[in-house]
Amino acid sequence: MMTSARTLRIDLSYKGTEFRGFAENPGVRTVGGELRQALETVLGEEIELTVAGRTDAGVHALGQVVSFQTTNEGVDPDLLRDSLNGMCSSDLRVQAVTLAEADFNARFSASKRTYHYNILNSPTADPLHADVEWHIGPPLDVDAMNDAASRFIGEHDFTSFCRRPKDRPDEPLIRRVVTSEWIWIAEQRLRFVIEGNAFCHQMVRSLTGFCVAAGFGKRSADEFEAVVRAKDRSAAPPIAPPHGLTLMQVSYQKSG
C-alpha cells in the first residue's frame, strides 16, 4: 500500500549574519541547507523545502515559514521541533512545527509579507547592534523619507527596484504594497515598516535606498514614478546593505 504524503509547516527565526542566505548553495552555509540536512537526518528521507521568502546573505528573519512533505507517518510535530533545534546552530531556531492542509505551500499560499528595516542615525555606531541595523552618521530628513515611502503604496511595476531572476527573465515584477512608513522606535533609531502581497529580489533594500537618498536630499519623492517608468535598475539609487533587514511575518488567509 502506497503511503500518502503529509504536509508540514515550519515557523522559524534566524540571525542571518553568518548565513549566505536561505537558498542552498554548494560550499557555503545557508539556512535552507542546514534545515534540510537536519530534517533528512531526523526523518530518514529526502526532503524538498518551499520557503515563503528567500532571504539574501546577511538578512534576518523572525517569522519565516517553510513547508515540506513527508511520508513518515510517525512524525510528532513537537518532538520534531525539539530535535531540529538540538541539531541546528543557535542562530537558527524552529519556533513551531504544525501539520498543514495538504495543499498548503509556504510561498504560494501566503497573502502578505511584512519586513522591517532598521537604521541607527547617529554620529557613532552601536557595536552591540552593528549586524542588525544600518548605521548612518549624517542626519536624515525623516519627513522626506516618509514622503518617498508613501509613493510605494499601491500596485506598481517594481522592475527598477528588483534584481530580475536569471531563471525567470520574463517574469512580471508587479507587486502590491499596502503599508510603507518610517517610524521612530527609539532615540536615533528608525524603522521602515513595509507590507505587501509579495516582494521581488532585493526590492525592500532598493526601496530603502530610495528613501535614504530622499532623506539626504539627493532624490525627490516625486521622482518615484519616473524611476518606475524607466524599468531599469540603474535609474534607482544604490540599495541598502542587507544586515538591517528582517522578515518579520508571513500571513496566510484562513480557509473555510
CB count in 10 Å sphere of residue 4: 9
DSSP secondary structure letter of residue 4: P
Catalytic residues: 56
Residue 230 DSSP SS3: helix
Which residue from 163, 148, 17, 14 is spatially nearest to 94, judged by alpha carbons? 14
**DSSP calls for 46-94:** ----EES--PPTT-EEEEEEEEEEE--TT--HHHHHHHHHHHS-TTEEE
Residue 93 DSSP SS3: strand
Whole-angstrom distance between the N-terminal and C-terminal Cα of the chain? Answer: 31
Cell of 63: 517569522
Amino acid at 217: G
Which residue from 93, 83, 70 is spatially nearest to 15, judged by alpha carbons? 93
CB count in 10 Å sphere of residue 190: 24
